[in-house]
Chain A
Amino acid sequence: MDFKLKIWRQEQSSEKGKMTSYSVKDISPDMSFLEMLDQLNENLTLSGQSPVSFDSDCREGICGQCGLFINGRAHGPNAHTSTCQLHMRSFKDGDTIYIEPFRAAAFPIKKDLKIDRSALDKIIISGGFISVNTGQAPEANQTLISSDSVEAAFDAAACIGCGACVASCKNSSASLFTAAKISHLAQLPQGKIEHKSRTNQMVRKMDELGFGSCSNTGACEVECPQGISISHIAFMNKSYFK
């Protein structure tokens, strides 16, 4: 397969960026999207041009390090798929593909498609944990937890911290990310005690970091590779305003 690529190139945060055209040839449909970019980069490097900077690490959809805006959608055309899990068989031979970074005021661009997502860590630092010191826990089966609660907690805990929810929100809100953590911990008995203070701290931090507020468009849920539900946002808001 052959493709035309239009890729966002930007030398560093302080400089202006622009879309640049490239073409790639003889791409196998079984190649992953990032392997297609690897091939482009090998060719650019060998011809003395600067390769395109993009992020990835695990390449199996779990670390949350990858994340590209492909043809106007965070992580590309497929639902519940991170960029690294996207394969070229999802495109048509001859397609023109637009590749941009995740954009949000709270995610400054570092270079080309690489962004700074440290704001998400800051939200966790503000209170996204259970305050238990290591080594002092009681026997695990002492507190029984229903299978349903654990599964519900897991649904929220599955967030990989990729930031696609922020990038696909017209307000650049981090509500889905924040609510997922609040909801994960609140579903479990050991996380309930700090629930109120945790929610207050995390929501305030999110606002302070320049993320927008949620206007319930549901765009985040659609693009979230882990299928995190926006019902968590309703839960977070209810807890916050209670």
Chain B
Amino acid sequence: MYFSTDEKQIPKSKVPSGELKDKWSNFKNQAKLISPNNRKNYNVIIVGTGLSGASAAASLAELGYNVSVFCFQDSPRRAHSVAAQGGVNAMKNYKNDGDSIYRMFYDTLKGGDFRAREANVYRLAECSAHLIDQAVAQGVPFAREYSGYLSNRSFGGVQVSRTFYARGQTGQQLLLGAYQALMRQVKAKKIKSYTRHEMLDLVLINGVAKGIIARNLDTGEITRHTANAVVLATGGFGKIYYLSTLAMGCNGSAIWRAHKKGAWVASPSWTQIHPTCLPQSGSYQSKLTLMSESLRNDGRIWVPLSKNENRKAADIPEEDRDYYLERRYPSFGNLAPRDIASRAAKERVDAGHGVGTLKNAVYLDFKDAIEKQGKEAIAKKYGNLFDMYQKITGINAYNEPMKISPAAHFSMGGLWVDYELSTNIPGLFAIGEANFADHGANRLGANSLLQACVDGYYILPQTLPHYLAQSGKPDPINSDDPAFIESELKVKKQLEEFGEINGHKTVDYFHRELGKILYDKCGLSRSEKGLTTAIEAIKNLRKSFYTDLKIPKKIDGINEELEKAGRVADYLEIAELMCIDALSREESCGAHFRTEHQTNDGEAIRDDKAFNFISCWQKSDHGPVLIKETLDFEFTTPTERSYK
């Protein structure tokens, strides 16, 4: 056995009582407050300056708390939220197309294949409308109709238009709004910003989160930081697959080091593999670029019917094309949810119908849309995406179809949190993509910018003070406490050890190998045999990492190889837990597709009797321990997730 199960521990979700629509109000009505004069006596550490971290920092600082924020980039504005293209969902029902909070809640819950907490998902939908107001007030230039009203489009997995967008740079514009709010508080001296600092450990005193150990990436200095509460807003760890849509520095280290201090990780294997990315073109490749899913509003996806097709796309007549999404999912067609669209692409590619030099892609074709709407209309909607496509591939997509393929994109899994966004360690919170919460087993497009903002602007500013108020007077925390000293020593020792291995392979070599194992065995489809092979392969790779790694020895000053070594060392451990998590869940749900659990025509079979729970993983000396948070569907009945 790779893990054990502890049926006795029952995670406390802390969902307030009452009707679904009243729960969040009930929480707020009963939450404990701290009076304005006392707030300055509390220090809060926020690791991460993406949408979740920046919005939380600005909001808490405006309330009067002292906030320190950390990021590894050279400016908070560069957090990877900046790269989100397509848009952000919000329930405004501006289109009068039947949208409502309930419908958005239900779409999200169903999109996640009924593997999320109802109350959390409802709150996400409930807070969504206000976010748009907030962002507009900050100066986010969302697209407008000619009349001056805000414009919307639709995204995969829903039948209403509730996505707000700012050209193809929605994440950038939302992040700049949050970043500017953050900088305003830096000016007001309520926030201290530590850029180029990487968190390398979480410090607990008597089981309560009291600070972090960070490394200054420019000087190499290791520093101790104390606080009354610590918030991890460190984003997703999809970069574990090496080739992904994430940034080079994205990592799982902050949440993993918290896990090693006792925080539970929930469903780490649930990774969204995005259907519309640029295919890999060679072994040198360092990342895969996402082409926004919004393209699926007007582009049609197809592959040649024949396996041995040699003609150019334009020369292949209609009758020789297979529009497989329209064929298999007539009511959603090209807008089928991501997991389904990715799996369908993989199925066609595996069956030998792939296109491109490596036969690893499918076509995304705008010919019909350009004929109907004109090139100008398409350029207005997607111009920057077409430009980006041309920059990377050298191909003009107005003249021939794009080639796309699936790539690792979003971590549904992350630190387990309760309704108050607190982990199981008192004083440690997790927000944004770093937590496991609202998206269940599959995230709907344009819902994660939303989640990051809602966590940071609306939820944490209510729940974190509630925690502080309950924990009594702010005690002074001593950074010379043995807990800090011990953590710091451990961190330094690890950094030195990496340099001393002095083997024959670079960090990137190990990262690339790990990525291959995960794509192959713990990616779009998983099986018992594949996962057990992967676990052994990862263990071997980890062994060889600690005997054959080569990096420059220096630990003071800039050493990018050393930074990467720490991240990959953690990835090599996270990967194993991902495989164990996937192995333990003997059902198919959302992005988690176990080949043993499918219908004859390849659709997922979910098992609500046996697996209606969130898997929380606890670290122990005898391997991972599975703790189950049973999902209580009080207001909905889980149905089969059909998009046919």
Question: Pick the contact of A57 from B139, B249, B388 — CB < 8 Å?
Answer: B249
Pairwise interchain contact B183-A144, C-beta atoms closer than 8 A: no
Question: Pick the contact of A38 from B148, B392, B508 — CB < 8 Å?
Answer: B508
Assess whether A31 is interfacial by the CB under 8 Å rule. Answer: yes
Assess whether B95 is interfacial by the CB under 8 Å rule. Answer: no
Closest residue of chain A to B78 (Cβ to Cβ) is A63
Which A residues between 131 and 162 are near B, CB-CB below 8 angstroms? 131-141, 143-147, 150-151, 153-154, 157-158, 160-161
Pairwise interchain contact A30-B75, C-beta atoms closer than 8 A: no
Query: Beyond A51-B552, A58-B80: 6 further Cβ-contacts under 8 Å?
Result: A63-B82, A64-B77, A114-B558, A134-B62, A144-B149, A147-B146
B1-36 CB mask vs A (1 if < 8 Å, else 0) is 000000000000000000000000000000000000
Pairwise interchain contact B183-A28, C-beta atoms closer than 8 A: no
Which A residues between 100 and 158 are near B, CB-CB below 8 angstroms? 110-111, 114, 116-118, 120-121, 124-141, 143-147, 150-151, 153-154, 157-158
Pairwise interchain contact A138-B137, C-beta atoms closer than 8 A: yes
Pairwise interchain contact B144-A145, C-beta atoms closer than 8 A: yes
In Å, the complex CA distance between A121 and B75 comes to: 7
**Given the complex, which residues of B lie within 8 Å of A34, measured CB to CB?**
286
Assess whether A71 is interfacial by the CB under 8 Å rule. Answer: no
**Given the complex, which residues of B lie within 8 Å of A68, measured CB to CB?**
none
Assess whether A9 is interfacial by the CB under 8 Å rule. Answer: no
Beyond A58-B247, A59-B286, A138-B133, whether A53 also contacts B142 by CB under 8 A is no
Q: For chains A and B in complex, what number of residue pairs have CB atoms within 8 angstroms?
A: 212
**Given the complex, which residues of A lie within 8 Å of B130, measured CB to CB?**
135, 137
**Given the complex, which residues of A lie within 8 Å of B310, measured CB to CB?**
none
Which A residues between 37 and 66 are near B, CB-CB below 8 angstroms? 38-39, 42, 45-46, 50-51, 53, 55-65
Q: How far is the CB of B544 from chain A (nearest CB, A)?
A: 15
Pairwise interchain contact B75-A118, C-beta atoms closer than 8 A: yes
Pairwise interchain contact B180-A130, C-beta atoms closer than 8 A: yes
Q: List 16 A-B contacts (CB under 8 A).
A: A35-B285, A45-B506, A51-B560, A57-B248, A57-B249, A61-B391, A64-B75, A111-B558, A116-B74, A121-B193, A124-B179, A132-B181, A139-B133, A144-B149, A184-B141, A190-B137
Pairwise interchain contact A150-B142, C-beta atoms closer than 8 A: yes
**Given the complex, which residues of B lie within 8 Å of A168, measured CB to CB?**
none
Interface segment among B168-176, B323-331, B359-367, B472-480: the answer is B168-176
Question: Pick the contact of A65 from B74, B169, B289 — CB < 8 Å?
Answer: B74
Closest residue of chain B to A32 (Cβ to Cβ) is B286
**Given the complex, which residues of B lie within 8 Å of A151, measured CB to CB?**
141
**Given the complex, which residues of A lie within 8 Å of B387, measured CB to CB?**
80
B440-482 CB mask vs A (1 if < 8 Å, else 0) is 0000000000000000011001000000000000000000000
Assess whether B435 is interfacial by the CB under 8 Å rule. Answer: no
The interface on chain B, measured as residues whose beta carbon lies within 8 A of the other chain's beta carbons, has a size of 81
Assess whether A204 is interfacial by the CB under 8 Å rule. Answer: no
**Given the complex, which residues of A lie within 8 Å of B148, measured CB to CB?**
144-147
Q: How far is the CB of A86 from chain B (nearest CB, A)?
A: 8
Pairwise interchain contact B558-A110, C-beta atoms closer than 8 A: yes
**Given the complex, which residues of B lie within 8 Å of A39, measured CB to CB?**
284
Question: Pick the contact of B74 from A55, A124, A135, A138 — CB < 8 Å?
Answer: A55
Main secondary structure of the interface of A (DSSP, over half): loop
Assess whether A85 is interfacial by the CB under 8 Å rule. Answer: yes
**Given the complex, which residues of B lie within 8 Å of A124, measured CB to CB?**
179-180, 183
Assess whether A92 is interfacial by the CB under 8 Å rule. Answer: no
Closest residue of chain B to A146 (Cβ to Cβ) is B148
Pairwise interchain contact A140-B80, C-beta atoms closer than 8 A: no
**Given the complex, which residues of B lie within 8 Å of A120, measured CB to CB?**
75
In Å, the complex CA distance between A146 and B150 comes to: 10
Which B residues between 134 and 153 are near A, CB-CB below 8 angstroms? 134-139, 141-150
- Identify the B interface with A (CB < 8 A): 55, 58-59, 62, 73-78, 80, 82-83, 92, 94, 130, 132-139, 141-150, 166-167, 169, 172-173, 176, 179-181, 183-184, 186-187, 193, 195, 218, 247-249, 281-282, 284-287, 289-290, 387-388, 391-392, 394, 457-458, 461, 504-506, 508-509, 550-552, 557-558, 560-561
Pairwise interchain contact A137-B75, C-beta atoms closer than 8 A: no
**Given the complex, which residues of A lie within 8 Å of B184, measured CB to CB?**
125, 129, 131
**Given the complex, which residues of A lie within 8 Å of B58, measured CB to CB?**
134
Pairwise interchain contact B281-A59, C-beta atoms closer than 8 A: no
Assess whether A25 is interfacial by the CB under 8 Å rule. Answer: no
A158-195 CB mask vs B (1 if < 8 Å, else 0) is 10110000000000000000000000110010110000
Pairwise interchain contact B82-A31, C-beta atoms closer than 8 A: no
Q: How far is the CB of A21 from chain B (nearest CB, A)?
A: 20
In Å, the complex CA distance between A105 and B158 comes to: 52
Assess whether A81 is interfacial by the CB under 8 Å rule. Answer: yes
Closest residue of chain A to B136 (Cβ to Cβ) is A140
**Given the complex, which residues of A lie within 8 Å of B187, measured CB to CB?**
125-127
In Å, the complex CA distance between A108 and B552 comes to: 24
Beyond A45-B551, A51-B561, A85-B391, whether A31 also contacts B183 by CB under 8 A is no
Assess whether A87 is interfacial by the CB under 8 Å rule. Answer: yes
Closest residue of chain A to B62 (Cβ to Cβ) is A133
Pairwise interchain contact A134-B457, C-beta atoms closer than 8 A: yes
Beyond A58-B82, A124-B180, A128-B183, whether A150 also contacts B144 by CB under 8 A is yes
